[in-house]
Amino acid sequence: MIYISQQFCNSLDFYDQMTEQCASTCNRCPSSGNNGTTCTDFAHDCTARIGLCNNPNYDGLMHRACAKTCNKCGGCYDASSKCKSWAAHGFCTSPEYDRNMRLRHCAKTCRLC
């Protein structure tokens, strides 16, 4: 069953869902305290979807899944596709969440960079 899951790890269509639900299987466990320093494409179909790199509707996804192809290495971005919703419910302002958590998951939305 792991093989089937791993097939979806590198598909742009399932990238966010697999990262959230199968981070260990997909080798995407968050690094501590930053947005990562390695520049790579995690999705296998990045070159086929290069046209989405500068589409604002796909900015976060393409930054996370296709950083190398889209030339979006480093910089300020949200690691989660749910940041806008979380922010609307207080993620960026509530003392319940510390700065490192905000930086790791929603740096751009929470205006931490």
Residue 78 pairs with which residues in a beta bridge? 106
Copy the structure tokens of residue 85.
């919703």
Question: 18 and 87 in contact (C-beta within 8 Å)?
Answer: no
Where along the chain do its domains lie? 76-113
Q: What is the pLDDT of residue 10?
A: 75
Q: Which helix (H) or strand (E) holds 68?
A: none
Question: 109 and 78 in contact (C-beta within 8 Å)?
Answer: yes
Average pLDDT, consecutive stretches of 10 residues, N- to C-terminus, the chain (113 residues): 64 76 67 56 92 86 88 81 92 93 89 89
Question: 81 and 57 in contact (C-beta within 8 Å)?
Answer: no
